[in-house]
Chains A and B, each alone.
Chain A
Amino acid sequence: MAERQERGMNERIQRLRRQSTETQPHIDMERAVLETEAYQMYEGKVSVPELRALTLKHIFSHKTLYIGDGELIVGEKGASPQAAPTFPELCCHTLEDMHNMNDRKVVNFTVTEADLKTQEETVIPYWTGRSMRERILGSMTGEWKEAYAAGIFTEFMEQRGPGHTVGSVKLYEKGYLDYQEDIKAALAALDYQTDPEALNRRDQLNAMSIACDAIMILGKRYADLAREMAAECTDEKRKAELLQIAANCDVVPAHRPQTYWQAIQTYWFTHLAVTTELNPWDAYSPGHFDQHLGPFYERDVEAGILTRDQALELMECLWVKFYNQPAPPKVGVTLKESGTYTDFANINTGGVTPEGEDGVNDVSYIILDCMDELQLVQPNSNVQISRKNPRRFLKRACEIARKGWGQPAFYNTEAIIQELMNAGKSLEDARKGGCSGCVETGAFGNEAYILQGYFNLPKVFEITLNNGVDPATGKQLGPKTGEAKDFETFDQLWAAYTKQIDHFLDIKVRGSNVIEALYAKYMPVPFLSILTNDCIARGEDYNAGGARYNTSVIQGVGTGTIADSLAAVKYNVYDHKNFSMEELLEALKDDFQGHDRILHLVRDKTPKYGNDDDYADGLMKKVFNYFVDNVSARPNMRGGSYRVDMLPTTCHVYFGEVMGASPNGRLARKPVSEGISPEKGADVNGPTAVIKSCAKMDHLKTGGTLLNQKFTPAVVAGENGLDHMADLVRTYFDMDGHHIQFNVVGRDTLLAAQKNPEEYRDLIVRVAGYSDYFRNLDKALQDEIIERTEQSFAC
C-alpha cells in the first residue's frame, strides 16, 4: 500500500483529500435539534419568513464549528467532514429510514443509537404532520398519486427544496453588511399606502436582514475559533495560517473580500448558508468562478502576496470542502434505492464575459489543474466552450475528460445564451448564465429555475398502446384513446399518444403548481433571496416569484427509446406491414420470448435514432417538438413559465423498471435511454452520426439537454485523439448542441460488451484502413483490446 497514489498537489492536500474520501458519511442530528428548538421558540410569534431566518440564525449561533488540521478554507455543514445534517421540515426520517440509511449497500450513512433516540424523542414528535413532504402528498389528487406511483413522472420537491441555482459576481462585490444596507433601503421604500403586499414585503425583508446576521455570526465565530487555536498552536507555520484564517473571517462574509483567499472563503460561507437554510436541489454553485476570482488573482499576484501554486492550493482546499458534503439522505423508497453521493454543485469554467468576450483567464487553467489533480466527483466541474475560447483551453479540458472519470462535461456557451434569450432573458443576463445541476440552463444570480420532475415519455406510449391502461397494474390511468389494433394509420396512433401526453402533463403541472404554492407559503428562503436579484428590490422570496426570472422545468426522459419505439411501429406495422399490431402487442406482453423474428426486425432491421437516419430522427423530432411546445406555453405560479430539459440523471433506470418491453426491442424492466443519447446499442455508426442525430433536436428551445458519448481509450489516444475530441465538441456546438460528456470506457464495460454484444453495438474500433465493430471481433481479439484498455488506464 506504500505506493498507493495520493492525489493532491502537496502533502497538505493529499491528507485533506484522504481524510475526506476515507471518512464514513454519517448523520449529524445537530441541525435538526437546533431547528426544532428555534421553531419551538418562535413559531406563531413571528412571520414565516422571519421564522426561517431566525432558525438559520439559531443554527449558526450554536452549531459546532470545525477547523481541520491544515485547512485553509473553513466551515462545515455538519460538525466535521462527511457529517450530513437532516432537514425534518422537508422530510422527516422514520426510524426505519434511519436504519435503512445505516444498512444500505450504496453510499451509507452511519446512525448511532444516540441519533436514533434524538430522532425518536425530539425530532419525530415535533415534525410529524409539519414536513413539506406530508403537506405535498396530502395536497395531491388521486390521479396525481396514481400516475406518480406508476412511474409516469417523478416529483423533485417531496424530499428536497427548490433551489437549482447559482451565485453571481455579486457575492464578491458586496459583504453582508452591504446587503443589509440594500435591505434597509428597500424597507424604507415600501409603499404602505397603495401596496396591499407591503406588510408581507416588510416581513420578508426583515427576514433577509436576520439571515445576513446569521452568516455574519458564523464568520465571527470562525474568526474567534481560529484565533483561539492560533494561541494554542506551537507550530509557527500553522499558527500563521490560523491567524490569516482569522483575519480573513474578520473581513468576510461581513465585508466584500479583499483577496483571492477571502473571495474563496466568502463563497464557501455563502454555500454553507444556502445549504443549511434549506436542502435545495443541486446545493449551490459558484458559477463562473474563474471570472469572479480572476481580478482577485491578478491583483494578489501583482501585489506579490500570491503565487500560482498558492492559488491552486487554495482551490484544492475548496474542492475538498465540496467533497466533504455528501448529498443529504432522502426518505422512504428513494432513500433505499438511490445512492447518489454527489450534491451536484457545479462550476462553469470558460465561456464569455458579460461583455461577450473570451472568458478564459489564468484561474480557468488553475481550476482545470485542480480538477485533474484531485479527480473528485464533487464539485461537478465542467467547462463552457465558446467559439471565442482558445483551442488550448478546449484541448486541456479534453485531456482531462479522456482520463475516463466523467469530468469535465462540455457546455456550449453560444447555445446557452440563445436558450436564455429565447426564454426572455436580456443579453447580458444570458451571458452571465450557464448550467447547473447536470445541464440545466439558468441566468446565474437572477433566476429561480426550479426542476419539477422527470416525465417518462416511453411509459406514456406503453399506456397508449394499452388504451389508457397501465399493463403493470391493469389500472386505467389515462383516457380511453382506442385499442391499438384498431388504428389504421400511424397518424391515428400518434393522435392517441399526444392525447395521453396532454393528459399526464396536465396532471403533472397542476400538481407542480400546488407544490410551488406550498413552498412559497411554508418554506421561504430569505438567505437565498438575498443573493438572487431582484428579491430585495421586490421584497419577495426566491420561492415566491421574487427572482428576476422564474422558471419551472419538466425533464423529458427516454428520447432514444421513444423515437425508436415509434419508428419500430411505423416502419414495421404501417409502412412495411412486416407484422400486425396484435402480433407486436403479443410480443411485448411476452417480453419478446418466442418472438425472435419480431425482435430481430425491430432490433436489427428498423431505422434507429443515433445513426443520422432521417426516418428515425424525424420521429425523435416529432415527439420532442410536441413535448416542448406543449410544456413551454404553460404559465407557472410564480409569474414565469414552464420549460423543458432533456435529461435523466439516473431516472432512466427507474423509468425502465416500471415498464414492460418496448416496441424497439428494449426488454422489460431494462433502463430506458438516457438523456438525448440513443438507446443502448442502437447507434452503430460512430460518434459523428450520434452527434448529427442529436443535433436534429432544436436544443435552443430547451433549458438543457444531455448527451453521453462513449469511447474506448484507443480511439482518443495521442495528440490526434485530443484533436478529434476537440473537433467533435466544436462541431456539435456549431450545430447548437447544448452539452456533451465523454465516457471513456474501462475494462468492465468491455467485458460486459463481450457478454451482451447487442447492448454494446455502439463500441467502435478504429484501426488504420480497417473496417469493423467491437461486437464483430472474435473473443480472443476482444480479450486483447480489453487487456490494452486496462493498460492504458493504469498509467
Chain B
Amino acid sequence: MAGPLVLNIQKYAIHDGAGIRTTVFFKGCPLSCLWCHNPESQRYPRELMFHQDRCAGCGECAQACPSGAAMPPDREACRQCGACVDACAHGAREWAGEPWEVRDLVRALEKDRMFYEQSGGGVTLSGGEVLAQDMDYVEALARRLYEDGVSVDIDTCGHVPYERFRRVLPYADTFLYDLKLMDPEAHRKYTGVDNALILENLKRLSGDGGKIDIRLPLIAGVNADEGHIGAVIDFLRREDIRPHRVNLLKYHDTGRGKYPQLGRTYEGAGLAAPSDAWLEQARETFLRNGFTNTEIGG
C-alpha cells in the first residue's frame, strides 16, 4: 500500500494545540461530517481541485487531456494522469494530496524547530484523520519527531481501532479529541458513523494517561444547545475524564468554497454559527462544572 497522502503542511498553525505549530493535514477520514471544512481531506485518493475563478478559458487543458475529460471537468472519465494540471498556465488546476517519505516530512516539519522551542509549540498531525492512515508510517513519523524533541499533537475524530492510539501514545504530547454529538443516532446522521467507538476510545485513552484537549465544534441547530453541553459534561464526569483543556469551536463555513472545486455541493449550506453570547454561556457551564480550562476557540 502506498503511504498516506499529505494535503497541506501548514506552518504557523496557532489554533491547533499549544504555541506555534506546524499542522500536517493527511488525506482520508472515516467520518463525513456535514459541515466538514476540509472536504478535500475526506477521501483517501488524490483529487483534482479546479478553481473556476482562475480559469482563463484558454483550452490548453482540453488539448492536453487524453480522455477528453478536462473541460468541463468530468470526474468520472478522468484517469488522473495530471496532464491538465501541467498544461494549465493559470493555476486553475491543482492536485489535492501528495505522497511524502517520512524522512522528508520530518525534515520539513523540523524547519520551524526554533519557533516550537520558543513558543512551546510543535507539530500537529491532523487531517482528514491521521490515525486512519498507514500506522507504520504515522508511528514512525511521531517517533522520529519525539526523538528529536519536537512536541507532537494528534488531532483526531476518535473513530479508529484503539490499537492505533496505543501506537502513538508514547510519542504524543496532546490529543486534540473532537466530540461532535453525544446521541448515537444524531451522530450517524451528521457524520455518517455511530459514536460508540469514539466515546469508548476516549475513555480508554484517558485511562491510559493520555493528555487530552476536548474539542467541541458547535453548530446552531445541530449541537449548540444546552442538552449537548450537558451530555458532554455528564459523560466526562461519569467516566472521570479530566481533559487538559476544553475548546469550544464556533462553526464557520470557511470551507464551503472548496466543495465546487472538487465538483461537489456543500450540503451544510443551511448551517449557522451559535451566538457569541451562547458560547460564553456554554463556557461558563463548563467552568461551573469544574472544567476550569475551557476556552472559546482553538
Residues of A within 8 A of B (CB): 596-597, 599-601, 604, 612, 685-689, 691-692, 715, 718, 720-721, 723-724, 727-728, 730-731, 734-735, 764-772, 776-778, 781
Smallest Cβ distance from B36 to chain A, in angstroms?
Answer: 10
* Any A CB within 8 A of the CB of B284: no
Is there contact, CB below 8 Å, between B15 and A776? no
Partner of B257, one of A597, A766, A771, A776: A776
Smallest Cβ distance from B255 to chain A, in angstroms?
Answer: 7
Smallest Cβ distance from B80 to chain A, in angstroms?
Answer: 20
A686 CA to B15 CA in the complex, in Å?
14
CB-defined contacts of A735 to chain B, threshold 8 Å: 114
* Any A CB within 8 A of the CB of B23: yes
Is there contact, CB below 8 Å, between A767 and B112? no
Can you show 24 pairs from A to B with CB atoms below 8 A apart? A596-B58, A596-B90, A686-B10, A688-B112, A688-B115, A689-B112, A692-B112, A724-B14, A727-B118, A765-B254, A766-B13, A766-B14, A767-B15, A767-B37, A767-B252, A767-B298, A769-B23, A769-B126, A770-B37, A771-B38, A771-B41, A777-B257, A778-B53, A778-B256
CB-defined contacts of A731 to chain B, threshold 8 Å: 114-115, 118-119
Residue in chain B with minimal CB distance to A611? B11
Is there contact, CB below 8 Å, between B254 and A781? yes
* Any A CB within 8 A of the CB of B184: no
* Any A CB within 8 A of the CB of B290: no
Partner of A692, one of B111, B118, B155, B258: B111
A718 CA to B19 CA in the complex, in Å?
13
Partner of A724, one of B16, B58, B119, B258: B119
A692 CA to B109 CA in the complex, in Å?
13
A769 CA to B254 CA in the complex, in Å?
11
A-B interface, 10 closest residue pairs, ranked by CB to CB distance from nearest: A768-B298, A778-B257, A686-B12, A727-B119, A768-B15, A600-B89, A596-B89, A771-B8, A731-B118, A597-B89
Is there contact, CB below 8 Å, between A596 and B56? yes
CB-defined contacts of B258 to chain A, threshold 8 Å: 772, 776
Partner of A734, one of B37, B111, B114: B114
A691 CA to B215 CA in the complex, in Å?
31
Contact string, B87-123, partner A, CB cutoff 8 A, digits 1/0?
Answer: 0111100000000000000000001101100110100
Smallest Cβ distance from B215 to chain A, in angstroms?
Answer: 8
Is there contact, CB below 8 Å, between A766 and B12? yes
Is there contact, CB below 8 Å, between B91 and A727? no
Known A597-B89, A600-B90; judge A715-B11 contact (CB<8 A): no
Smallest Cβ distance from B35 to chain A, in angstroms?
Answer: 12
Smallest Cβ distance from B6 to chain A, in angstroms?
Answer: 11
Give 5 A-B pairs besides A692-B112, A735-B114, A771-B8 with Cβ atoms closer than 8 angstroms. Answer: A597-B89, A727-B118, A728-B115, A731-B114, A769-B37
Majority SS at the chain A contact face: helix
Is there contact, CB below 8 Å, between A727 and B126? no
Contact string, B8-47, partner A, CB cutoff 8 A, digits 1/0?
Answer: 1011111110011001010000000000011001000000
Is there contact, CB below 8 Å, between A727 and B297? no
CB-defined contacts of B41 to chain A, threshold 8 Å: 771
Is there contact, CB below 8 Å, between A771 and B23? yes
Is there contact, CB below 8 Å, between A687 and B12? yes
Smallest Cβ distance from A770 to chain B, in angstroms?
Answer: 5
A699 CA to B93 CA in the complex, in Å?
39
Smallest Cβ distance from B160 to chain A, in angstroms?
Answer: 17
A688 CA to B53 CA in the complex, in Å?
29
Is there contact, CB below 8 Å, between A688 and B12? yes
Is there contact, CB below 8 Å, between B14 and A689? no
Is there contact, CB below 8 Å, between B254 and A770? yes
A731 CA to B297 CA in the complex, in Å?
25
Is there contact, CB below 8 Å, between B118 and A771? no
Partner of B255, one of A604, A721, A766, A770: A770
A600 CA to B94 CA in the complex, in Å?
13
Contact string, B113-145, partner A, CB cutoff 8 A, digits 1/0?
Answer: 011001101000010000000000000000000
* Any A CB within 8 A of the CB of B7: yes
Smallest Cβ distance from B146 to chain A, in angstroms?
Answer: 21
* Any A CB within 8 A of the CB of B195: no
Known A596-B89, A686-B12; judge A771-B7 contact (CB<8 A): yes
Smallest Cβ distance from B90 to chain A, in angstroms?
Answer: 6
CB-defined contacts of A766 to chain B, threshold 8 Å: 12-15
* Any A CB within 8 A of the CB of B272: no
A718 CA to B8 CA in the complex, in Å?
26
CB-defined contacts of B215 to chain A, threshold 8 Å: 768
CB-defined contacts of A687 to chain B, threshold 8 Å: 12
Is there contact, CB below 8 Å, between B8 and A688? no
Smallest Cβ distance from A55 to chain B, in angstroms?
Answer: 53
Partner of B16, one of A764, A768, A776: A768
Smallest Cβ distance from A7 to chain B, in angstroms?
Answer: 29
Partner of B12, one of A718, A764, A770, A778: A764
Smallest Cβ distance from A388 to chain B, in angstroms?
Answer: 16
Smallest Cβ distance from A517 to chain B, in angstroms?
Answer: 46
Partner of B155, one of A599, A721, A724, A769: A769
CB-defined contacts of B8 to chain A, threshold 8 Å: 771
CB-defined contacts of A596 to chain B, threshold 8 Å: 56, 58, 89-90
* Any A CB within 8 A of the CB of B69: no
Smallest Cβ distance from A691 to chain B, in angstroms?
Answer: 8
CB-defined contacts of A734 to chain B, threshold 8 Å: 114, 118
* Any A CB within 8 A of the CB of B294: no
Smallest Cβ distance from B130 to chain A, in angstroms?
Answer: 12
Smallest Cβ distance from A579 to chain B, in angstroms?
Answer: 12
* Any A CB within 8 A of the CB of B223: no
Smallest Cβ distance from B132 to chain A, in angstroms?
Answer: 15
Is there contact, CB below 8 Å, between A768 and B118? no
Smallest Cβ distance from B108 to chain A, in angstroms?
Answer: 9
CB-defined contacts of B257 to chain A, threshold 8 Å: 776-778, 781
Interface residues of B in 257-276 (CB under 8 A from A): 257-258
Is there contact, CB below 8 Å, between A777 and B19? no
CB-defined contacts of A723 to chain B, threshold 8 Å: 119
Is there contact, CB below 8 Å, between B11 and A600? no
CB-defined contacts of B19 to chain A, threshold 8 Å: 727
Smallest Cβ distance from A506 to chain B, in angstroms?
Answer: 39
A721 CA to B19 CA in the complex, in Å?
10
Is there contact, CB below 8 Å, between A769 and B119? no
A294 CA to B91 CA in the complex, in Å?
57
Smallest Cβ distance from A355 to chain B, in angstroms?
Answer: 27
Is there contact, CB below 8 Å, between B89 and A772? no
Interface residues of B in 228-276 (CB under 8 A from A): 247, 249, 252-258
A776 CA to B41 CA in the complex, in Å?
16
A529 CA to B64 CA in the complex, in Å?
72
Smallest Cβ distance from A242 to chain B, in angstroms?
Answer: 52
Smallest Cβ distance from B17 to chain A, in angstroms?
Answer: 10
Smallest Cβ distance from B280 to chain A, in angstroms?
Answer: 14
Is there contact, CB below 8 Å, between A688 and B11? yes
A686 CA to B115 CA in the complex, in Å?
13
Smallest Cβ distance from B22 to chain A, in angstroms?
Answer: 8
Smallest Cβ distance from B208 to chain A, in angstroms?
Answer: 24
CB-defined contacts of A765 to chain B, threshold 8 Å: 254
CB-defined contacts of B89 to chain A, threshold 8 Å: 596-597, 599-601
Is there contact, CB below 8 Å, between B23 and A727? no
Residue in chain B with minimal CB distance to A599? B89
A242 CA to B247 CA in the complex, in Å?
59
CB-defined contacts of A597 to chain B, threshold 8 Å: 89
B7, B11, B37, B41: most-surrounded residue (chain A CB, <10 A): B11
